Each structure stands twice: as C-alpha cells, then as structure tokens.
Amino acid sequence: MIKLNSTLFRIKSIKYATQLSRFLSTDFKENTKLSLRQKSWMDSQQRYENHQHIFYSSHLELQDEYMSYGLKRSIQNKIKKDLKRYRKEQKTLNRYDTDVPEDWMEDYEYYNETNDGNGSLQENKYGTADPNIPASNVPCNGCGAILHCKHQTSPGFLPTEIFKGRTENELKSLTCQRCHFLKNYNIALDIEVTPESYIETISSIKDKYALAIVMVDLLDFPCSIWPGVHELLGSKRPVIIVGNKVDLLPRDSNSYLDHIKQCLTEEILKSGFDRLNVKYVSLISAKTGYGIEELITQLQKIWAYKGDVYLLGCTNVGKSSLFNVLLNSDYCRPETSDLIRKATTCPWPGTTLKMLKFPIFRPSEIRIYERFKRLKSEKFLKAEEEKLRIESARKTGNISDAVPVGTIGRTFIKNIDDVDDAFAMSKGTQPITTFNERSKEYQKSRWVYDTPGVLHPEQITNLLTPQELRELQPKQMISPRSYRLKLGMSLFVGGLGRLDFIKSDSKDLDWVQIFLFASFDLPTMIVETEHALEIYKNYLNTPLMKVPMGDEERLRRWPGLQCCTEDLIVKGYVLKSKTKELNCSGDIILSSSGWVGVRAPIDVHCVFRAWTPHARGIFLRTPSLVPYAERIIGKRIRNSLAYNTTKPFVFKK
C-alpha cells in the first residue's frame, strides 16, 4: 500500500512539474490549448492596441458574440418575420433627393402630362407650381393640409399636372405630394411650417368644450411632454393621459405596467397638469393594439358624447397611429371608417400638419350593452391566448411572445347590402364615394381631431437626418445593456450622448452599475473622462460612434456635445423594503437617444455629468422607470466592463 501511494505521488509530481514548466515557457500560447472565451478575450485586447484611452467599445468587442442564445434566436425570428419590410427600408436608407423617380406623378390616378419644354429637369422634378390657380377647400387625406398648387414648400402642395381640373370629390381621394413621398419612397420633403402655426392651431381648442387626449412617448419622457400644453388647454380642461409604445419597454417584474403608469402620472403632475383634471391614465401600444379597447371603454364611460375629442402631443409620439386605430374601432361611426383615409404615419417628426377628424359613434345604452357582450365573449379566449403566449415566452425566450398585445374588434359593422357596388349593371356608372361632413346626418356629430405635433425644445430629433432617426428607434422590446462605470470614466451612446461619473461620497466605492436603455443599433464606448473630448473628435462619423453619419458638410452642421450646467446626483435607496433588493435609484435622460439607469448603493450619493447636443433633454427621473433591470441582464463578461445581454423580460414579483 505504501509503494502504491509513493508511485501515485511521483506521477502527480511529474504532472505538476510538466504543467509548471509549460506555463513558464515562452511558448505557452502555442503549447497550451486556449478555451474559446480566452481566445475571444485575446482577440478583443488586440483590437484595443490602436485605440488608446478606450476601455470598452461594443463595436470592437463585437458584443453580439456574447449575446444569449434566446435573444439571438428572437432577433433572428424578428428579422425573418419582417424581411420584406427591412428590404424595403434598406433600399431607401441611402436614398437622396436625386433618387426620386422621374415618373412618380404617374402613381396618381389623375395625372395629365404637361411639359412645354421650358425649365430644366431639376425644376420640374417635383412638379409644376402655379400661384394663379386658387387653392381648394379639400384637406389632404394624409396630413390634413388644404390641397393647392401654389407653392412647392407649402403644406398640401400638389403639382399642377395633378391638381388642375380636378373636382372636389376627386381631390378628396388624393394625398399631397409630401404624404405621397413619405408613404411610397420614405423621403421627407422640407415644408415651411412655423412653431407659431402649431400654437395657433392648438390654441383654438381653449374656448371649446372638448376632451383632450395628451399622448406621451414612454421612451422619451419628460421630453415628449410639451411644457406649455396645459396652459393652452386651460385650467379646467378634462384630460386623459395616454402613454404610447409600452410594447418596447422591458418587463422587469409582473407589476411593471403599474409602476410605469405611476411614473408617468408623477411626471404629468410635475409638468403642470392639475390632478383633478386628469381623468384617466392609460398605457397603450398603437402598434400591437394593447390597451386600445380599454381606452375606448373609458372614453365612452368618462366623456360619452359630451363634445369633441382632440389628440395632442409632441411630434412622433404616435398620435396619427392612434387616430388610425380609433378610426377602425367602435369609437368611429361604422359607415364612415371606410370613407375616411388613414393619417400619414412615418418615423419622421411632424408628419401631421393640419387637423384630421372622424365622427364619434354615439354610445347609447343599447350600443354599450352590445359592445359589453362582445368584449365579455372574447375575454375568455384572450385570457387563454395570453397564457399560451406567456408559457411560450418562458420556454423559448421569444421576445414577440412577451410583448403586450391586444386585439381591436368591431361590434357594429356596416351591412354588406348597403355597400355600393361600383360594378353593378343595374345602377350604371357610380359616382366617387367620398365622406361629406356637411351632410345633415353629421351636423350635430362629435369629432375626434388629430392635431399637429409640437417639437419639444428639449428634443434632438430635428438635428438628425432620416437615416439617423432610423438608427435611433428601437425595433423591438429594449434589452438593457449593463456596464461597470468606474470613477473618472465616461460612457458614450453613439455620438448623441455622454455620461461622466465624477465622484461619490463613499471612499470604498470604485464603480457603479449602470443600465443603458436605447436602440441596439447605437454603439457604446467607455473611455477616460480626461480624454473624452479628444476621443469624440477622433471617432466621430466612424463605426465606433455611428451616429451622426454623413459627409463633411453633414459633420460641419453637427453641433457636437455640450454638458449640462448642473451635475446630476443619484442617491441609492431600496424601493421595496420587504424584499431589500437593490434597485435602480434613478434614470438619467439623454434626450431622444435613451436613458441610463443608475444602481447606486444604499445611502450613497453618486455625481454624474451628462452631455447632449446643445445640452438638450438632460433630466434626472426618479423613481427609475425599470427599477429591477438587473433581473434582465446576464453575468458580467470576464475581463470586461460589460455584462451579457439576455431576454428583456422576466416573470417575477
């Protein structure tokens, strides 16, 4: 037995000696088999050799390699599902004004080709203007501007080749040149619309007995709550607050929607609205239909048929999308929903220039009862579908199954026998069927108005090009990206924002955990604060920052980043004393580019400094919108400041 133990000891000694000599040899890298993680770490370190003072870059580290399998699969499914839409977008991403088809006017049914040979192609590319022809009284079906052919840069312009000689009924079926380019070519034409015209349009509501639906972008508030809207509406105006794009917010707990509604209500009251005037707060998704049916129920319950309803909000919060959804719901008269064309919805701000409207369906007792029966019959089926979706999300990790979804039904549908048949032989040639709001049946109607958007002074969307705006908008539910930000370090969010960690009142605190909520197309970079300005100049318009992008002229017009005059102080605390789980203490808003959640230790004050173009949209929001963001991230990547990204939802109290 003793001989056996001595033999085993000799074998182990030889084995350890061999390993030690191999470790000490200069050919260690060649002789030792490295793991995949070690190889990836060594590759990432080699990428930083030519980038001084940069500690982390999502572009250099290729963070998608560390992405969890569930998130990768979800993104792949999303790409496959929307392949046609992405291809169409890719074709138009690099489109300029010179790429406008010369035959674009042939898209219109009423087009008379008139070319007298005078003028160059550049002058006639967008059609001919004739200031001598009077404007019509017909609004555009897409933006609500009055159709005319007087001036090309005025809202509602149509070329003379299309406008001239058209009857009123024919014009009612047309959209203006700007809406046509937005829908068909993803090109936003410059239109001369002053902020004064916006205010003048909204101020007309002040003396009317009407309900205001104030829409807020949940990804961009308080920057999407216009500071002067409560003054224009009056001190006694009944208001319903609607938070849109809830489908893009991550699910950090089972009660996350209640917490989001609470945060939205607090910000609304801070902006100047009276609590007594706020009749209801709703969270919806105009894209997935979530919350729409409940909103219609509350509108019929709170407001009934007392007066008109106005959709208000800043640019690109989803007013036109909600208008289109309500147009095809029980809130609109069923015989008019097919006659009124949908509003223009595009990612560019300010796509609605004038007021569009549709008549409200009077909610009588019998109609409310019929609607209640339909909703009750669908309730069980919707609940079962929701259970299946949640179960599928738990098993597969598919993001689309975790997104809140709702179906929008119609209780009252126009009778098929009443539909005009344009091909019926017995009736002969049928006139163009359009909506006539001046008829007797609509004289006492109540209306829903889609008002133009107002650009918030703290937003940066007007500084970005259409291609840059597409990079800014999340494509699906946001997966937070987490980092360890040490003292003296700065986080860059593309070229649109920067956050510096200046100091803290704890001597033992070396770093703080932060969570970035922004589009995954925006790259991130962590650098030394001392060299942040130099790095920003060197890497602007490169893949490491990506946005802004363009030629030298574009960069010459870019204002750069300016810091806020006041430092932002975040104090750590526990949101729920029973659980004692450390949560995010607050959110630092970086205007329209996103926000950063800070998870500071309890009772520790952390001081930050934020930078955005013209120092716009820098706010400290407490409590945090997603307080338990740590639940929806992975483990920290070895030898890195970043954490793994994972599925943006969790089913936990």
Whether residue 230 is contained in a domain is answered as: yes
Find the CATH number of the domain harbouring 282: 3.40.50.300
Same domain, 474 and 394: no
pLDDT of amino acid 429: 43
Region 239-258: what's the mean pLDDT? Answer: 94
Quick: pLDDT tens for 353-373: 567 788 899 999 999 999 999
Same domain, 316 and 372: yes
Q: What percent of the chain has pLDDT over 90?
A: 36
Evaluate if residue 484 carries a pLDDT over 70.
yes
pLDDT of amino acid 321: 85
Contacts of residue 611, defined as CB under 8 A and 6 or more positions apart, other chains included, come to 497, 498, 499, 500, 561, 562, 563, 564
Evaluate if residue 221 carries a pLDDT over 50.
yes
Range with the lowest mean pLDDT among 53-62, 141-150, 333-342?
333-342
Tell me the Cα Rg of the chain.
Answer: 29
Evaluate if residue 30 carries a pLDDT over 50.
no
Whether residue 24 is contained in a domain is answered as: no
Same domain, 286 and 364: yes
Evaluate if residue 288 carries a pLDDT over 70.
yes
> Which residue has better confidence, 165 or 523?
523
Same domain, 370 and 251: yes
Evaluate if residue 535 carries a pLDDT over 70.
yes
pLDDT of amino acid 157: 84
pLDDT of amino acid 59: 83
Whether residue 564 is contained in a domain is answered as: yes
Task: Work out the pLDDT band at 123, boundaries 50, 70, 90.
Answer: very low
Q: Which of 466, 510, 398, 591 is nearest to 189 (CA)?
A: 466
Region 499-507: what's the mean pLDDT? Answer: 92
Are 513 and 572 within 8 A, CB to CB? no
Task: Work out the pLDDT band at 507, boundaries 50, 70, 90.
Answer: confident
Same domain, 381 and 470: no
Mean residue pLDDT across the chain: 80
Same domain, 149 and 278: no
Region 220-242: what's the mean pLDDT? Answer: 86
Instruction: Sheet with 481-486: list strands edge to edge.
Output: 481-486, 511-517, 595-599, 586-590, 618-621
pLDDT of amino acid 294: 95
Same domain, 150 and 264: no
Give pTM, 2 decimals.
0.78
Same domain, 172 and 285: no
Quick: pLDDT tens for 395-421: 988 888 999 999 888 888 755 444 455
Evaluate if residue 96 carries a pLDDT over 80.
no
Task: Please state the three-class secondary structure of 62-93 as a single string.
Answer: CHHHHCCHHHHHHHHHHHHHCHHHHHHHHHHH
Whether residue 43 is contained in a domain is answered as: no
C-alpha count within 13 angstroms, C-beta hemisphere, residue 257: 17
pLDDT of amino acid 579: 72
Cis peptide before 222 (omega within 30 of 0): yes
Same domain, 299 and 365: yes
**Tokens read off for 484:** 């360890």
Q: What percent of the chain has pLDDT over 70?
A: 75
Domain-ending residue, one of 141, 163, 185? 185
Q: Report CA 507 to chain centroid distance, whole Å.
A: 40
Domain-ending residue, one of 185, 207, 226? 185
Phi/psi region, residue 576 (left: phi>0; alpha: psi -120 to 50; beta: rest), is beta
Region 485-493: what's the mean pLDDT? Answer: 95
Whether residue 433 is contained in a domain is answered as: no
Domain-ending residue, one of 145, 164, 185? 185
Domain count, the chain: 3
pLDDT of amino acid 94: 41
pLDDT of amino acid 19: 47
Evaluate if residue 192 carries a pLDDT over 70.
no
Task: Work out the pLDDT band at 49, boundaries 50, 70, 90.
Answer: confident
Return the number of other C-beta atoms located less than 10 Å from residue 221's C-beta.
23
Same domain, 106 and 59: no
Helix (H, G, I), strand (E, B) or coil at 589: strand
DSSP secondary structure, 122-135, as one string: HHHTT----TTSPP
Quick: pLDDT tens for 618-648: 999 999 999 999 999 999 987 789 999 899 9
DSSP secondary structure, 106-121, as one string: GGSSS------S-S-H
Evaluate if residue 281 carries a pLDDT over 80.
yes
Whether residue 466 is contained in a domain is answered as: yes
Q: How far, in Å, CA of 546 to CA of 151, rounded?
A: 37
Evaluate if residue 205 carries a pLDDT over 60.
yes
Q: How far, in Å, CA of 518 to CA of 499, rounded?
A: 14
Whether residue 598 is contained in a domain is answered as: yes
Evaluate if residue 66 carries a pLDDT over 60.
no
> Which residue has better confidence, 11 or 554?
554
Q: How far, in Å, CA of 275 to CA of 594, rounded?
A: 28
Q: How far, in Å, CA of 636 to CA of 603, rounded?
A: 25
Same domain, 388 and 531: no
Q: How far, in Å, CA of 636 to CA of 638, rounded?
A: 6
Q: Which domain holds residue 476?
A: 55-71+462-645
Whether residue 26 is contained in a domain is answered as: no
Q: Report CA 450 to chain centroid distance, whole Å.
A: 19
Quick: pLDDT tens for 569-617: 999 988 877 777 889 999 999 998 999 999 999 999 999 999 999 999 9
Same domain, 212 and 296: yes
